[in-house]
Amino acid sequence: MTDTGSQLTAENRSVEVDDGDLFAYRRFGDAQTDAPALLCLQHFRGNLDNWDPALVDRLAEDREVILLANRGVGSSTGIVPDNVTDMARDALRFVDVLGLRQVDLLGFSLGGYIAQELALLRPRLVRRIVLAGTAPQGAPKIHRWSDDVYGLATQDETDAEHFIKLFFSGSEESRAKGMEYLKRISARQIDRDAQTDLATRDAQLTAITRWGIPEPAKLTRLAAITQPTFVANGDNDTMMYTENSHLLAHHLPNGQLRIYPDSGHGFLDQYPELFADHVKAFLNGG
């Protein structure tokens, strides 16, 4: 098999967008296939290194994978927007600079918000969409996180214990899988992405809060996302709420839903190989 690169060894690259800011990214995988590149959009406070190598390397076996640190995130320069629409417009600026005429999208959590907005702003750019652990605009319960989730998600310095509690279920097996994930994303020793800062946290939190203002009428927007869309989540997501994934799949014209057992917001890192195989089957037309 041809070496297609890896999350652990891929070069850190950057491109300058129209206003002079530099957007950091990694691009690796099979560039010889006809499949569109898979653009991956990250979760709240996440950087390039938070993508699980076990997941994205498996996805890169039969297509190019592009991991983007959007404006102001990680090593990217500029000020993080405080609303999802501007985040999506920044992702489009990045796509245009790279000259991509068509992409597939994988949006995780906040990245799923951006993926939805991107598909609405530029529908002909997007072929297929994966929405992982996310929610539609105006959905219930996401405007104000519970006190427990807020405390875990917004602390100034994150640590393994709090991360595991936020992203994984309370079972011993899920927690063990969470620790394995943390080891995998720590394996890259050189050229790591810069950690996200508190300004990023605060701007992204404002964007998430705005998106979550309860407004059932906003759900009608989903009718315009006609691309095949794979909606996935754990069975106990306390951050975006699993029922919002059901809501997404119900309102998307071509949505399909899969819920993973004994898992929370970070289900894709608990089941990286399984989820990757499901995503690959979906992107390949299954």
Q: What are phi and psi of 100, to 5 degrees?
A: -80, 125
C-alpha angle 238/182/197, rounded to 5°?
Answer: 75
Residues facing residue 13 across a β-bridge? 25
Parse the chain into domains and list their residue ranges.
13-283
Stretch 269-282: mean pLDDT, rounded? Answer: 98
Cα separation, 139 vs 242, in Å, equals 11
Among candidates 25, 22, 68, 26, which has minimal Cα distance to 43?
Answer: 68
Q: What percent of the chain has pLDDT over 90?
A: 97
Tens of pLDDT, residue by residue over 92-125, are 999 999 999 999 999 999 999 999 999 999 999 9
Segment (H or E) for 232: strand 229-234
* Cβ neighbours of residue 76 closer than 8 Å, sequence gap 6 or more: 14, 21, 22, 23, 24, 69, 70
Query: What is the spatial distance between Cα 191 and Cα 74, in angstroms, rounded to a whole number?
Result: 12
* Cβ–Cβ < 8 Å for 57, 188: no
Please tell me the total number of residues recorded for the chain in this structure: 286
The answer to whether the beta carbons of residues 68 and 193 sit under 8 Å apart is no
What count of other Cβ atoms lies within 10 Å of the Cβ of residue 50? Answer: 18
Mean pLDDT, range 223-247, rounded to an integer = 98
Instruction: Give the DSSP per-residue string, 185-225.
Output: HT---SSPPPPP-HHHHHHHHHHHHHHTS--GGGGGGGGG-
Q: Using 50, 70 and 90 to split pLDDT, how confident is the model at 158?
A: confident
Q: What is the spatial distance between Cα 141 and Cα 240, in angstroms, rounded to a whole number? A: 8
From the options 3.50.50.60, 3.40.50.1820, 3.30.1540.10, 2.60.40.10, give the CATH code of 13-283: 3.40.50.1820
Which pLDDT value is given to residue 18? 87
Q: pLDDT category, 2, cuts 50, 70, 90?
A: very low
Q: What are phi and psi of 22, to 5 degrees?
A: -105, 125
Report the distance separating Cα 271 and Cα 127, nearest Å: 25
Q: Where does the pLDDT of residue 3 fall: very low under 50, low under 70, confident under 90, or very high at 90 and above?
A: low
Burial code (b: 16+ CB inside 10 Å, e: under 16) for 219-252 equals beebeebebbbbbbbbebbbbbbbebbebbbebb
Give the pLDDT score at 286. Answer: 66
Q: CA 48, CA 59: separation in Å to the nearest integer?
A: 16
Residue 145 has pLDDT above 70, yes or no: yes
CA distance 134 to 242: 8
Residue scoring higher pLDDT (99 or 18):
99
Q: Are strands 22-29 and 37-41 parallel, antiparallel or unpaired?
A: unpaired
Tell me the per-residue pLDDT of 25-50, one tens digit each, with 9 for 90 and over: 999 999 999 999 999 999 999 999 99
C-alpha–C-alpha distance, residues 179 and 168, integer Å: 10
**Per-residue pLDDT band at 5 (split at 50, 70, 90):** confident
Q: Residue 109: which region, alpha, beta or left (left: phi > 0; alpha: psi -120 to 50)?
A: left
- Percentage, residues of the chain above pLDDT 70: 99
- Would you say 104 and 81 are in contact if contact means Cβ atoms under 8 Å apart? no
Mean pLDDT of the chain: 96
Tokens in use for 55?
Answer: 């997941």
Handedness of CA 178, 180, 186, 188 (dihedral sign): negative
User: Hey, what are 213's tokens?
Assistant: 């203002």
Which tokens hold the place of 192?
A: 């790591």
Is residue 259 within 8 A of residue 275, CB to CB? The reply is no
Please tell me the predicted confidence (pLDDT) of residue 19.
Answer: 86
